[in-house]
Amino acid sequence: MVTQETRPFVYGRFLTLHVPPITSVIPPPAAPPPSIALEILREFSATELVGKVYVRGPGPGWVPMDSGILPGLEWYRDFGKKDWAVQFEMIPSGRWNVLNFRIESDERGPYLAAALKYASPQ
């Protein structure tokens, strides 16, 4: 008998932040609905994990992010730049620092993975 493993998902969005923060008198806009889903692949502790990145598909579901679109995404381009940080705003647990992005693969092919470490409740 073959069983299919199911892993938990978390939802949110990637943010690019200036370090140190730039103060603004304009309140931030209301958060849009989650645009990213992460399938939790590995948990190293309650505050560190690696997840497979998904985006909304053409229908009502989620599909693994195509690595071909990465250069066009601001948060991906800004990752690793001096004075900028990328965080994942997870609903409802708050912000997680992105430690790295990398292309991994499984039986279905390559996918983008993100390593996260808990930063703060938001």
Each residue's pLDDT tens digit, 23-44 = 555 555 566 678 899 999 999 9
Cβ contact 75:95 at 8 Å:
no
pLDDT of residue 3: 45
pLDDT of 2 > 90? The answer is: no
pTM for this entry:
0.82
Q: What are residue 87's phi and psi, to 5 degrees?
A: -125, 155
Q: Tell me how far apart the alpha carbons of residues 77 and 86 are, in angstroms, rounded to a whole number.
A: 10
Residue 51 pairs in a beta bridge with 40, 114
- Contact yes or no for 62/80 (Cβ under 8 A): no
pLDDT band at 96 (very low <50, low <70, confident <90, very high): very high
The pLDDT score that the predictor gives to residue 82 is: 86
pLDDT in tens, 37-92: 999 999 999 999 999 999 988 888 899 998 888 999 999 999 988 888 999 999 98
Distance CA 57, CA 16 (A): 23
Q: What pLDDT sits at residue 22?
A: 58
Decide if pLDDT at 114 tops 90. Answer: yes
